[in-house]
Amino acid sequence: MELKHITSDITGEEMYCGTHPSGLGIYLIPKKDYSETYAIFGTRYGSVNSKFIVPGETEVTEVPDGIAHYLEHKMFDQPDGSNVFDKFAKYGGNANAFTSFDMTAYLFTATEHIEENLAALMDYVQSPYYTDETVQKEQGIIGQEIRMYDDSGNWKLFFNLLNCLYQNHPVKKEIAGTVESISHITPEYLYKCYNTFYNLSNMSIVVVGGFNVESVLDVIEKGIKKNEPFTEEIKKIYEDEPSEIAKPYAEQKMSVASPLFMIGFKDTDTGYGGERLIKKYIEVSILLKMLFGRSSRLYKELYESGLINNTFQTDYTVQTSYAYSAIEGESRDSKAVYEAVKNEIERVRREGLNEDDFNRIKKVMWGRYIRSHNNVEEYAGMFMQFLFVGADYFNYHDAYEKVTFDDVKRRFENHFVTERSALSVINPM
């Protein structure tokens, strides 16, 4: 197949991209003089997708919570009993996989034998093998993993916050599910989810680094197994989510060295993707740095008073059906930090944002994007994350240039609403 060749006038980066007749999206981003290559083979399927309608069907399919993560684990079981990791080790590849709220991805990094490692990746991700015996065995393994998460202060801090912010959306459910929910997983459920979400028309492969484009494309094409693309989208079903939060506060005592806090702001401006979404991501990211970054007035006050330390950080998570920003760290008085954050927002609402801060931090955002090109893993990960919401990370500059100070001021008024905020705290036992 012929791939479209694109060169960025801004960064000078090259990309070869196209859609295979199977429906698989192919994105190859070669980098001259790079020794490392990172490949990621992903599907638009994560922990929030437990209710859906398969293309061609009319009835809703509902599966147990945690099945996307469970399926990821089971993909490493091969019909011939071989070990997938041994195949990568033979060719010097470092393989891994992960499941998030909206994506499951299989990946490897390597500095040599790129084609052999890529062939192994293409093969095992398209070779499902589930039996009653292997599924039952995995329940004990994943059950142990779930109990490990239950003992993690940072993990519980995060999901306690999501349960404060969201009333109905499945983003509040833990990615691995519960010991109870995974006990209901069967081979039939796994094959149903695999045949739905691992249809190649719901998947993409991104390769970034030092490789030969023609050789890599040849491996991908030869590695594609018979797969009829869907002619319509998978209908993912979520319950209606009100704009109001579920509750403003959650506290739990655990075996942690220091008290932990996480403050969240629920974003109600959702339901779209594309360039509009990437522009919103830039706007909120700028605001988080303006309001709470290390050069901000609030950070200096909290740090000098001893209320926070250098673990203090911010993040913005954005998807089509949900989005939220988070501020987290350690503090001897988490409620005082929360009050200070809310007071700072009200002060800025009265006095306004500083345009000089905006201009400076906007340049910082561009610098962060440029630096991401130097890290093949970070770049490929961000590329696929935005690809799966219809946004183009390669042409990030198009959205970046459209962000104005007035846009950021409007975003501040819309997003940082204290009534849609919550505090999660983990205190030492």
State yes or no: is 72 an active-site residue: yes
Contact 48, 97 (CB under 8 A): no
The residue behind tokens 């060169």 is 7
Amino acid, single-letter form, for residue 154: N
Expressed in percent and rounded to 5, the helix, strand and coil fractions of the chain are 45, 20, 35
Contact (Cβ atoms closer than 8 angstroms) between residue 169 and residue 317:
no
Structure tokens at 204: 């993409």
Please give the full DSSP string across 293-350, using - where no structure is assigned: STTSHHHHHHHHTTS--TT-EEEEEE-SS-EEEEEEEE-S-HHHHHHHHHHHHHHHHH
Axis crossing angle, helix 297-304 with helix 274-292, rounded to the nearest 10: 40
Reading the block at residue 99, the tokens are 């499941």
CA atoms of 192 and 353, how far apart (whole Å): 51
Helix 67-74 / helix 132-150 crossing angle, nearest 10 deg: 120
Contact 362, 368 (CB under 8 A): no
Query: Residues 36, 72, 112, 115: which is the catalytic one?
Result: 72
Catalytic residue set: 72
